[in-house]
Every structure is written in structure tokens, then in C-alpha cells.
Amino acid sequence: MNGDIDVLTLGPHEIRSRLFVGTGKYRDLTETRAALVASGAHVVTVALRRIDLSGRGEGSMMSLLTEQLDGRPRWLVLPNTAGCYTVDDAVRTCRLARELGLASIVKLEVIGDERTLFPDNAKTIEAAQILVGEGFTVLPYCTDDPVVCRRLEEVGCAAVMPLAAPIGSGLGIRNPYNLRIIIEHAKVPVIVDAGVGTASDAAVAMELGCDGVLMNTAIAAAKDPLAMATAMRLAVEAGRLAFKAGRMPRRLYAHASSPTVGLID
């Protein structure tokens, strides 16, 4: 955050930006790279089943994601299991990523419904338990259900990632009350995943007390993805600062901002 120390810890990883971004739906690799840079993101997620992980040549997605900056990886690549509908598929996909040399931090998705892309929470918990047991740092995509989030925390997930709205919908924060309950009880970071549509949605999530926001379509499908990536970066920073500052209480009636003592008669 503009030089301020506000590191987010996920397992053994120290994350320098609380905006997590995806790599899908852009027009080309040039636009993808420009949006990632504009977002200021440290963590970049990629769908393992939709790219060639072994292709590291110039112009490949993996050549972009393994780019160096000042002698170290520019981004922390967060492999995700998008498109997996079974526990076995999700676990196998994560193992493949590790075998190909990616970090053992994964975004776990086990989809339960093809139309809505809602997660299958029971299968997600089962897969998470297996992956945690194998030493993965697991960030699970789940519904905004406080009980499910607690179960995922209990099996050892490094964070929970409840959706704000269906994937790619852009509907924003549909149930801030559930998110507040999750945040209040969680002992691990809470990262909103899916449903953000514009910068104000990201700011609201952070003002609620979320530790981060993950998005893809909100940036990639914008009329100007680079401008939206910048807006999202600023919104996440502003929301985080507002949460830390503590908002004023809401009041039903006006309350004078100027002192009322010593007024001239």
C-alpha cells in the first residue's frame, strides 16, 4: 500500500497487496500483463485446467507469470482448480501444479453446479482436508456460509474465500451481514472471491473488514481494463485504510460538526 507496511500473511507467504487478480478473459497477453501491472497485485491466480503449465516460451502465459522484477518473481502465482467438479480432480490438479514447480499455495474450487458455478461445500471441505494434509497452503472458494467457513478453518485452510455473488455476475456484495459474521468469528484471513463488479464493491468488502479481494471479470470485462485495474487497486487500499481508521457512528438525526459553546448572542 504505497510503501506502508500492511502485509497479509497466508501460510508461509507474505502478501504485499490485498488485491488478488485473475488472468482470464483478456483480449490478449499484452492486455493481461498491462492490467496485472496496473492492479499492483502481488498474487495472480491462473486456472490450471485452461493453460499449458509446461509451456514457458516467449509469449506464453507461464512466461508472463514467471516474470522477474528486481531479481525476484514479480508475482506469486496462485494456481486454481476452476472447472473441477470432483474431489479427485481438484486434488490431482493441485498435485500437478506442484510437480511442475509452482508454489504449494492453491485456490481450491470444487464446483457443484454448472449453471451458477456455486461451490460444492462438502466436497470442498473434503478436498481441503486432503491437500492440507499434503502440505499445501489452501485458500478455498466457498459460499458465504459462516458454518462452512468455520469447517474449512478447522481442517487447516490458511484463509477462507466466500463469494460476494455468483462468479462473473458483477452483482457486488449481496449479503454483507453474512460476511460480517464470518469476519467476526474467523481466525484466518477472509478474502472475498467472486461477484465484485466495480471499485465501490471492492471498497465495501474491505470496509467490512475483509483481508483481501480476488477478482477477474470485473477488470477484464470493463470497457477500459487498465483504468479499472487502477481503480480496483485504489479502492482496496482506500477500503482497507477506512476499516483501520474506524468509521464514525451512524446517526438518525443531524449532529453539528462545529462547537456550540461560546456562540455570539
264/197: higher pLDDT? 197
- Whole-angstrom Cα Rg for the chain: 20
Among the ranges 52-56, 65-69, 81-85, which has the highest mean pLDDT value?
81-85
| Model pLDDT, residue 255 | 76
Catalytic residue among 107, 187, 223, 244, which? Answer: 107
d(CA 226, CA 8): 24
Give pLDDT, residue 172.
Answer: 94
- Quick one: pLDDT at residue 141? 97
pLDDT of residue 1: 44
pLDDT, residue 4, reads: 53
The pLDDT, as a whole number, for residue 245 is: 96
3-state percent breakdown (helix, strand, coil) of the chain, nearest 5: 35, 20, 45
Mean predicted confidence (pLDDT) in 28-37:
95
Q: Check residue 6 and give its pLDDT.
A: 83
**Rounded to whole angstroms, how far apart are CA atoms 156 and 139?**
10
Mean predicted confidence (pLDDT) in 214-232: 97
Whole-number average pLDDT of the chain: 91
Q: Which pLDDT score, from 0 to 100, does residue 57 have?
A: 67
Which residue, among 68, 79, 72, has the nearest Cα to 107 in the 3D structure?
A: 79
107 is catalytic: yes
What is the tens place of the pLDDT at every residue in 123-182?
A: 999 999 999 999 999 999 999 999 999 999 999 999 999 999 999 999 999 999 999 999
Q: pLDDT, tens digit, for every residue of 74-122?
A: 999 999 999 999 999 999 999 988 888 887 999 999 999 999 999 999 9
Alpha-carbon span 194 to 171, nearest angstrom:
9
Q: What percent of the chain has pLDDT over 90?
A: 77
Least confident range of 97-111, 168-182, 197-211, 212-226: 97-111
Domains and CATH numbers, the chain: 8-245 (3.20.20.70)
What is residue 99's predicted lDDT score, i.e. its pLDDT? 87
Q: Do 214 and 208 form a contact (C-beta atoms < 8 A)?
A: no
- Asked whether residue 3 carries a pLDDT value surpassing 50, the answer given is no
The whole-model pTM stands at 0.91
